[in-house]
Every structure is written in structure tokens, then in C-alpha cells.
A and B are shown apart, each in its own frame.
Chain A
Amino acid sequence: MRKASRVLVLTLIAAVLLSNVAFAKTKIVQWSFPMLENEMEVLWKPFIEKFNEIYPDIEVQVEILPWAGRDERMLTAVVSGNPPDVVYLNEFFLQTFASRGALEPLNAYISEEVLLSRFPETLLSTGKVGDNYYLAPMLTGVLGNVYHREVLEKAGWDINNLPETWDEFLEFAAHIKKWADENGEQVWPIAYSASMETTLNMSWFPILWQAGGDIVTEDGKKAAFNSPEGIAAMQFVKTLADNGYIPESLITSGRGDDYFLDGRVAMIFGVDAAGIAGMRERDPEFDSYAVVGPILKGKERVTYTTLGAWAIFKNANNAEAAAKWIEFLTSPEINVEYNKKTGYMSPIIGAPKLFADDPLLGVLEEQVIYGRGGMTISQERRVMDVLKRAQQAIILGEASIEDALRSAEQEVNFILR
């Protein structure tokens, strides 16, 4: 009798334990950074519900962290060996983590065939180190030039004849400046920010690429900007500043949004979808006077494209489940929904145009073909800081273009050594 009851108790315990194992969910944690107000309700809860219809045994916990301090937060998590499973990364973080061996190769979990069928190879390659792909693109955003219709009308410039090339732009700028001077108007041709807070991805780098130059060599081991193309790109910016085409305050601080909204500049350089959304929020009449113009061409027609992507950290609790979640997020249906809500462009091959009906974003969306990503070296921010200082020194007349670029080249080569 005693033996029978012991067996019964043991059986019950075993049953309880086994049932726990059987119903235990695999939990994955994702870190993302804020894109929308009330993002959890608007975006993530519906996505998780849909995902759980397919994978009911995987529990997804999304944690939204502030953009500020994200480098420190992610590095702390990686160094301490306690990172989340899935993380949102921009391309410039790739080397920081990939070089530490902190990322799982995506192609170990999602076949290369699937990846290549989903994303354009150029974009996918941005997240490639060696033979492995580490980033699954989620969004792209392209930088455009926005012109002020009312300013152009007042200055007598045809809005349908916007500059296509550097030469045409200089002609346009001279026309606006002349009109402003003759009429005593406090209006400048272009809002171009050279402040230390402005990322060069949104200012000088696109100009350097348009000149046909590059920031660093292809292997990322040496500076490449001290070249005839680099000098031409810096000369272009200096010409804008020297001729008084840029409001002086933007050389040292701030962005050009206020100038544009006040109708004090004819064009604002380097505006992405988020920038347009921000100005629309500040001025409901924004669409009535804003026009997205062509991407300028020096030797090439090119602009900066931001890349937001998902990656799996090395110490993920369950890399396979994380990969399933990423595969779900980058599926055409979910990806398009995500980008529609966040205002970015979808990097998925064959994705429908999300902003075809939007007079401003629709044009930007067409310009994605001119986009290229920024640097993917781990010293990206340090290199950028050196070049920001060089640009300011040149514009303020503290150094010649040749001297400033030579000195910056030495400093960057030292950083990359």
C-alpha cells in the first residue's frame, strides 16, 4: 500500500514537471529604440500577437530604450555577457559588435537564399563581414533636399526648374542671394548645418560622395578623403559659406528647420522622412510650400541612406527563436506595415511604394535608388568628429582646405592604425 502511494506521488510529481517542460515557452528579449509615440501599443503588441499565432511557444518581450546612451547601454550588456537576444542596430554599429564577436551570423539560421531573395544585395552587403551576414535590414531612409516654394516665387525662380547639379545649384544660390540683398530680405539660399552636433552623414559625406570621393579606403584601414574629390567637396561647401549662402549661425550650431519654417532659406539640405514629419508637426501648412527637389550631382548623383536592421547577439538565450522573430519582422507584410507606421522606407525587394500619395515622401521614396550607407568601421564616430572639426576650421577660415584635410588624414590614419 505504502509502495503504491509512493509510486503515485512520484508519478504526480513527474507529470507536473513534464507538463511544465512541455508548456514552457522560449522567451526572447528584443531591444529597440523609440520610433513612435505609444509605440508598444501601436506597433509591437499587434506584431507579437500575429507572431504568436504562428509560433505560440515563443514569448517575445520588447524593451524600448532611449536613443541617448544607447552605445553605452549595448556595450555594457555585451561586455557583461548579458545582452538581449535581438537588437536594433544601424550599420555604423556593425564593426563595433562584429569585431568583438558579439553577433551571431544570420545566415546560420536564415538561409542566404532567403536573405538574398528578400533584400537588395547592396543593402544586405552593408551588414556583411567576411562571409557572414549580420544585419537583417528593416528600414531605410534617404536624405533629400527640400525647397521653399514661397521663397522661390518671391525671388522669381521657377519651382519646376530646380537645380540638378552643383553648378546649377551655385547659379540658383547666387540668384537667391542677389534677390535677397537687393530687396533687403533676411533670406539665405541654403540651410546647411556644419555644427559639431550634426552628423556628417546628413551634411558633408553626401557632398563628398557626389564629388566621387570616399571617406576611408574600401578595407577601412586608411583615410581616403584627402583626394582631389575631397578637396572639391570641401571647396563646394566653402564656396557656399564664403558667398554668404548659408546662415552664419548654422556653421557653428543648430539645424536649419527653424530657418526653413520661417521662410528664411530657399532650400534645406539633408532632410529625411523623420525631418519632414517633424516639420509637418510644427507647421500644419508645411506641405503648401515645401517641395522635394532632385538629389544634386557633382560627378555622381548620390545621397545618404540610413539603414536600420535587426541583429542577434552572441549570448542570445535562444538564437533560433530570435531568428524566427527576425524572419517574421522582415517578412514583406510586417515590414511594410512597420515602415508605413514609422515613416521610413521598406528595404524589401518588390515592396509596394508606401508613400506614392504623399507629395514629399513619395519623391524621397523614388530617390532611394541614389542612396548609399555610411561608414561601417568601428571608429566611425571618431573619424566623423575629426572631419567635423576640419570642416569648421575650413569654413571659418582657420585653415586652408589642403592643410585641414592633410592634418585630418594624419589623425584619421592614426585612429585606424
Chain B
Amino acid sequence: MTAVRYTKNILIYVCLIILAVIFAGPFIAMFLVAFQANPVTSARDIFNLNFTLSNFIRVFNESRLARWFLNSVITTGVVTVFGTFFSSLSAYVMAKKDFPGKELIFWLFLAVLMFPAHAWIIPMFIQMSRMGLVNTYWPFFLSGTSSAFGIFLLRQYIEQNVVSDILEAARIDGCGEFRTYFHIVLPTIIPGLITLAIFLFIQWWGQFMFALIMTTSGDMYTLPVGVALIRGVAQSNLRFVMATTAVAVLPSIVVFIFFQNYLMRGVVMQLD
């Protein structure tokens, strides 16, 4: 019996290792090429590493990567912080308050999730264009800080983790709505907030189409658009392209590595 179990475990681990290599392989190859001093013309050149930082130095010197990085930090940062906060406010109301039409409003929020981005991007662009907000950070802020997904996710979390009796007790003790929210609800749902923040960060850090539509000025591009621009002119220079891509994906990888438990929890919360 034990031998069967061991064999089973070994097989499972072998499969997992193979899957890990398949999924991590492209990322490893990307970093190896980005740090490669010699031209890369075939797969074997990737592993014959002659280490250099010059590709990264060149990327920062010859493109506006630093500016695009800053734009990505600003847009993703604001969207992540405020999107998480505003979603939690709405989610709290949806989870713990009763008012006429609540369910309808909640289902309308959910309906937003059913629309693919291509369905609303043109009306959104027209709106932003008429407001004179194209080529500014505002389309990102206005669109990103209201997240139907975030409201759905946090409503589940609040319903499961915030006990209504405590809210009632706080109210009896004289706490107003905002005080109850800030002192009782917010500290309780921090793990849920972190999970949502990670989702928003990953979603907006890699957001290409929205950023492409809302910006036309090189100074306002975010990293995904900037990387696409560089790929367009330097596609034959693999080291240059990979160095650019590495800079673009590194924050997402770091966030994933450090917060993967929260991401898993988020997936489970959606299933609940």
C-alpha cells in the first residue's frame, strides 16, 4: 500500500515538475536572453550565457521606458489603491445594508462583467474624448477605480467574515456609518482587500488595449503599449526586446511570487 502511495506521489511530482518547466520555461528563457551579451540566433545561444547588463542600460537609454514605467506605476497604483477602497465601500453596502432594489443593482453590477471590453471601449473612448481626457491619466482612474469584479469579490468576503451583530453593537455604541466601516469592517476584511488589490494590479499592469485606445502620445504610453512599440522596431534584436519585456513583467512576477496565497484565496472566494 505504502509502495503504491509512494509511486503515486512520485508520478504526481514528476508531472508537476514537467508542468512547472513548461510554464516557467518561457520566463527563464526571457531573462537569459535579456542578460545575454552575445547575439541570440538559435535556442542553444540562450543557454550559453555571457552575462551583461548592457541590454537593460540600452533599453533605458534609447527608449522612453523609464517614462512608460512611471506611467504604469501611476495608473496601476491609483487604480489598485482606490479601486480596492471604492469596491469595498460598495461591497459593504451590498452585503450589509437593506434597501429597495439592492439585488437589482447588484445584478446590474454583475452584468457589467458579462460584457467584453470590445463592447464598451468605443463608447468609453467617445466619452473620454468629448471630455478632453484622452492622453491623460483620467481614463485609467475613472474606469479602473470602479470594479464590478471587486464589488462581487468583496461582497462575498464581507458576507462570510463580518458578523452583523458586531456592526449592530457598534451602532448602539454610537458609531456612524463611516466610523463603523473604518474601525470594524475594514480591519476585518484586509485579506480580502489584499486579494482584490493583487487582482487589480495584475489586470491593470498588463492592460494593453485600453491603454492603446486612450493614449496616442508617446509620453502617455504605459509599459504594455511601450513594449509593443519597441517590438515593432526592434523585433530582430531579441536581446533588446527581451530586456524590455523583462522590465515590464518583473513587477507582476514579484507580486505573484509574494502574494500567490492571496490569489488562490481569491479564486476560492469566487467559487464560493
Contact = CB atoms under 8 A, between A and B. Distances in A.
Interface stretch (A61-69, A326-334, A355-363, A383-391): A61-69
Contact of B42 (A31, A39, A82, A262): A262
Interface in B207-224: 208-209, 212-213, 216-218
B33 to A, nearest CB: 12
B42 A80 contact: no
A371 to B, nearest CB: 23
A262 B41 contact: yes
A38 interface: yes
Interface size grouping (class) on chain B: 20 to 34
A82 B40 CA distance: 43
Contact of A281 (B218, B231, B237): B237
B213 A76 contact: yes
Given A68-B232, A80-B122, A282 B41 contact: yes
A158 interface: no
Contacts of A261: 41-42
A238 B63 CA distance: 44
Interface string B218-236: 1000000100110111111
B209 A69 contact: yes
B212 A63 contact: no
Given A64-B218, A278-B236, A279-B236, A258 B228 contact: no
Interface in A273-312: 277-279, 281-283
Interface string A66-86: 111100110010011110100
Contacts of B40: 282
A37 B233 contact: yes
B233 A36 contact: yes
Interface in B115-164: 118, 121-122, 125-126, 129, 134
Contact of B228 (A35, A39, A68, A277): A68
Interface string B22-51: 000000000000000001111000000000
B218 A40 contact: yes
Nearest to A281: B236
A33 interface: yes
A286 to B, nearest CB: 10
Nearest to B211: A69
A228 interface: no
B232 A63 contact: no
Given A68-B212, A281-B237, 14 more contacts: A34-B229, A34-B232, A64-B218, A66-B212, A66-B225, A67-B231, A69-B228, A72-B118, A73-B213, A76-B213, A80-B122, A258-B42, A261-B42, A283-B41
Interface of A: 29, 31, 33-40, 63-69, 72-73, 76, 79-82, 84, 258, 261-262, 277-279, 281-283
9 contacts: A29-B216, A63-B216, A65-B216, A68-B232, A69-B209, A76-B122, A82-B129, A261-B41, A282-B41
